[in-house]
Amino acid sequence: MEPDNHLVVKNVVKHYPIRKGLFSKIVGNVHAVDGVSFQIDRGKTFGLVGESGCGKSTLARLLMSLEPLSGGQILYKGQDISRFSKKHIFEIRRKMQLIFQDPYSSLNPRKSIGHSIEAPLVTHGIAANRKERRELVTQMMDEVGLDVEQFKRYPHEFSGGQRQRVCIARAMILEPEFVLCDEPVSALDVSIQAQVINLLCNLQKKRNVTYFFISHDLNVVKHISDVVAVMYLGRIVELAPKNVLYKRPLHPYSQALISSAPEVNLKQKKKRTVLTGDVPSPIDPPKGCHFCTRCRYVEKKCTNEPSPELIEVEHNHFVRCWLY
Amino acid sequence: MKENLSSLLEVRNLTIDFHTMDGIARAINGVNFSLFKKEKIGIVGESGCGKSVTVLGIMGLLQKPPAKVREGQVLFKGRDLLTLPEREFAEIRGSKISMIFQNPMTSLNPVFTIGNQMGHVIRIHQGLRKKESIEKAIELLQEVGIPSPEKRIDEYPHQLSGGMRQRVMIAMAISCRPQLIIADEPTTALDVTIQAQIIDVIQDIIDRFESSLILITHDLAVVAETVERVLVMYAGKIVETGSVQELFESPKHPYTQGLLGWITNIETERGKLPTIDGMVPSIFNLPEGCSFSNRCKQCIPICIRQEPPNIEIKPGVLCRCWLYSEER
């Protein structure tokens, strides 16, 4: 295995059973994540886009071992963390941290923000005593642009952007190697989004962390990522370096997604490929290609035969479509 | 005075306060604008800047108290809506002016079917019988592109997807062929591909019905694609007004410049994004001078002392900033 493969995900599957009746008989499965594979290099940013309900957040939970897998493997630096015991997971969490979407609900309103940032240090027994911990916390607060005076303040006294800074500080204080950001800027106003994205980029440069960045905002993902994956109904349909993907999307879904993103471009009105219909239910996904119900180029093959594999069309550009 | 004749809606010096336990919040402060027939305008700004309060004030939907209209007029075809008795206002609201809200799940009643809710609006405003109102509702659902409306009419809101619900909201809003449609963040809760669908539906409806549109959003890109004229709001005031072209090609106000700097940069390359430092001032305690002065990179001494006047830079381009004044 190459040493720079920081995280390798192999054919990960997650099904949630639907139970019914007296004996909780399993009547069906929600195919939340259905065979996802990719790898992330150290110090790079992997962007994941997709619409709500496509399995982005479930995938995030699986990567962080917050849920057991239904199948597949997650290799973190060559170790299969999906088979780890609780104790092992606890240790690996020090290196893998999370930043959530909503900074309002992910901070304890009864704890001062200083305490919140300090908590991971206590849990993992880092730093010998309180004084040392405080020092680390003030350093960290300074790094994310929070006033050290605010140590004793409570979350409700802060604005959304500042709260997200607190969450970032809390995630970064353990000096993680891998940080998963689940829609970290979606809840923030535009002028604040820019501040938070700059902060994340700076921290990455300084500490060489790997980001796994989830968002539904294509522009944000385009800005921050190195490699972008497009997810549809539990599967990655296209995976490519960002410039390639945004310039020449190959999968019909990525094409539609990228063309529907509104853009400030007055000279040239974009020709949109507007998709008809809605995303099918993940309980009963279409038999062949998952996208066949909305695809413009749909053929017999797409609906009848099992879904195509992720094929490397050009160097590093993977597409899951019969067209290629 | 020629302007008065063709303008459909004119908002004059609208000022709304909220009287709360923590003191008086100045939600909007002297908002002035007019809207012509068949015109599409957009109001953009960040959360808390007063976009929604402005339109709720126009619609008379604010709860009073705590809200209080301190001054101002809302002239709809020359009649001041704010002084109308509630009964007359209720006749206009929903039939001449109607509104599409952000979250279709919370603005539809979960215990009534779609047909029931739509029929209700139609019966009240048009005096149709029940059977006719249902037929009309089916027709409307067809107009907004809902497949097999005869079936959908008997379904409950939870059976529809987000995009479908928003279409139902639009169908309801257009049921009386309103002259003015106010859309408050109609696509914010939706996914991008669905957002594109809904924007197309709204555009199409506005053009076909020859209505006017006020679109409220925080997404500058949506505004750029949909409307003709833009009002930028900041801390309860309109800081810049101009046509879409004018605004996006040469933004005047430092705040607009900041917002656009971010959006054009994020669409291009990786690198440091230009930011607007600091935060929006609290509306409980607005600064004495320009409300943007504490974040402005081009701040000059007068900005802190005195509120800037609304300066007409070109015909139709207004900006509330001292940089363009000769008196500074």
Q: How far apart are CA A58 and CA B25, in angstroms?
A: 41
Confidence bin at B71 (pLDDT 50/70/90): confident
Helix (H) or strand (E) segment spanning residue A60: helix A56-63
CB atoms near residue A194 (< 10 Å): 27
Least CB-CB distance to A266: which of B46, B196, B248?
Answer: B248
For residue A244, pLDDT beyond 80 = yes
CA angle A171, A173, A174 (to 5 degrees): 85
pLDDT at B3 over 50: no
Q: Do B108 and B157 touch, CB atoms closer than 8 A? A: yes
How big is the CA angle at B227 (ends B223 and B228), to the nearest 5 degrees?
Answer: 125
**Residue ranges in B218-316 assigned as alpha helix (H):** 220-226, 244-249, 254-266, 301-305
pLDDT averaged over every residue in chain A: 85
Structure tokens at A307: 């879904």
pLDDT of residue B5 exceeding 60, the answer is no
Mean pLDDT within B205-213: 89
Query: Which residues on chain B are in Cβ contact (under 8 Å) with A216?
Result: 191-192
Q: What was the pLDDT predicted at A306?
A: 78
Inform me whether the pLDDT recorded for A162 exceeds 50.
yes
Place A167 in a pLDDT band, splitting at 50, 70 and 90.
very high
Contact B221 A195 (CB under 8 A): no
| Record: contact B266-A264, CB cut-off 8 A | no
> Which has the closest alpha carbon to A243: A263, A223, A257?
A223
CB contact A243 to B (< 8 Å): no
Q: Check CB contact under 8 Å for A264 and B260.
A: yes
- What domains appear along chain B, each with residue ranges and CATH number? 2-96+176-324 (3.40.50.300), 107-175 (no CATH)
Residue with more model confidence, B283 or B109: B109
A219 and B276 within 8 Å at the Cβ level: the answer is: no
Task: Provide the pLDDT for residue A194.
Answer: 84
Q: Which of B192, B195, B268 to mutate to test the interface with A (most CBs of A within 10 A)?
A: B192
CA–CA separation, B15 and B237 (whole Å): 9
A129 touches chain B (CB under 8 A): no
Contacts B260 to A, Cβ<8 Å: 264
Q: Mean pLDDT throughout A238-264?
A: 86
Backbone angles phi, psi at A197, to 5 degrees: -65, -40
The answer to whether B205 and B174 are in contact (CB under 8 A) is yes
- Pick A263's closest partner by Cβ from B164, B221, B244: B221
Test A260 with B192 for CB contact under 8 angstroms. yes
Helix (H, G, I), strand (E, B) or coil at A277: coil
Q: Which helix (H) or strand (E) holds B114?
A: helix B114-126
Q: Is the pLDDT of residue B271 over 70?
A: no
**Among candidates A198, A260, A269 on the partner chain, residue whose Cβ is nearest the Cβ of B193:** A260
Q: What percent of chain B has pLDDT over 90?
A: 6
* Amino acid of residue B94: G
Q: Is the pLDDT of residue B266 over 70?
A: no
- Is there a contact between A266 and B275 if contact means CB atoms under 8 Å apart? no
Confidence at A303, pLDDT banded by 50, 70, 90: confident
Kind and range of the H or E run holding B118: helix B114-126
Q: Strand, helix or coil at B22?
A: coil
Q: Is residue A324 very low, low, confident or very high in pLDDT (cuts 50, 70, 90)?
A: confident
Reference A233, options A36, A65, A16, A37; nearest CA is: A36
- CB atoms B192 and A223 under 8 Å: no
Choose between A265 and A17: higher pLDDT: A17
Residue B274 has pLDDT above 80, yes or no: no
A235-239, B192-196, B281-285 — most confident range: A235-239
Q: List the helix and strand counts (H, then E) for chain A.
A: 10, 12
CA B324 to chain centre: 27
Q: What angle do CA B95, B99, A186 make, to 5 degrees?
A: 170
Q: List Cβ neighbours of A300 (8 Å cut-off, separation of 6 or more).
A: none
Separation between Cα atoms, residue A183 and residue B253, nearest integer Å: 30
- pLDDT tier, A3 (very low <50, low <70, confident <90, very high otherwise): low
Which ipTM did the prediction report?
A: 0.73
State yes or no: pLDDT of B140 exceeds 80. yes
pLDDT, average across residues B141-168: 86
* Residue A286, number of CB atoms within 10 A of its CB: 16
How many contacts does A have with B, using Cβ atoms within 8 A?
Answer: 107
Residue A272 above 80 pLDDT? no
A256 contact residues in B (CB cutoff 8 A)? 193
Residue A147 has phi, psi (to 5 degrees) of -75, 130
Average pLDDT over residues A82-94: 85
Single pTM value for the model: 0.81
Confidence of residue B328 (pLDDT cuts 50, 70, 90): low
Higher pLDDT, A284 or B254: B254
The pLDDT assigned to A91 comes to 86
**Is A151:A137 a contact under the CB 8 Å cutoff?**
yes
> E strands, A219-288, where?
227-232, 235-241
CB neighbour burial string for B16-29, b if at least 16 within 10 angstroms, e if fewer: bbbeeeeeebbbbb
Confidence of residue A1 (pLDDT cuts 50, 70, 90): very low
Local confidence band at A137 (pLDDT 50, 70, 90 cut-offs): very high
Where is A245: in which H helix or E strand? helix A242-247
- Average pLDDT rounded to a whole number, residues A99-118: 87
Nearest CA in chain A to B165: A278
A305 contacts: CB under 8 Å, gap ≥ 6: A288, A322
Q: What per-residue confidence (pLDDT) applies to A267?
A: 60
Checking if the pLDDT of A270 tops 70, the result is: no
Cβ-defined contact of B266 to A223 (cutoff 8 Å): yes
Taking contacts as CB-CB distances below 8 angstroms, the residues of chain B near A262 are 195-196, 199, 219, 221-222, 224-225
For B37-130, list the strands marked E by DSSP: 40-44, 67-76, 79-80, 97-100
List the structure tokens of B226.
């949909």
Report chain A residues whose CB lies below 8 A from the CB of B235.
none
Interface contact flag, A189 B262, Cβ < 8 Å = no
Residues A11 and A42 sit within 8 Å (Cβ to Cβ): no
Residue of B nearest to A193 (CA): B275
Residue of A198, A257, A265 lying closest to B275 (CB–CB): A198
- Residue A135 sits at the chain B interface (C-beta within 8 Å): no
- Structure confidence by residue, pLDDT tens digits, A62-79: 888 888 888 888 888 888
pLDDT computed for residue A228 by the predictor: 92
Q: Does A159 contact chain B (CB < 8 Å)?
A: yes
Cα of B5 to nearest chain A Cα, Å: 31
- pLDDT attached to residue B265: 67
Q: List CB contacts (< 8 A) between B244 and chain A.
A: 266
**For range A206-217, the mean pLDDT:** 89
Angstrom distance (rounded) from CA B310 to CA B319: 6
Band (pLDDT 50/70/90 cuts) for residue B267 is: low
Rg from Cα positions in chain B: 21
What's the pLDDT at A211? 93
Domains and CATH numbers, chain A: 5-95+176-319 (3.40.50.300)
> At CB < 8 Å, which residues of chain B contact A?
46-47, 161, 163-164, 191-197, 199-200, 218-222, 224-225, 244-245, 248-249, 258-260, 262-267, 269-270, 272-277, 279
Instruction: Work out whether the CA dihedral B64, B66, B67, B70 comes out positive or negative.
Output: positive
- Among the partner-chain residues A192, A195, A274, the one whose CB lies closest to the CB of B196 is A274
Nearest chain B residue to A146 by CA distance is B278
Average pLDDT over residues A71-92: 86
What is the full DSSP assignment across B127-177? ---HHHHHHHHHHHHHHTT-SSHHHHTTS-GGGS-HHHHHHHHHHHHTTT-
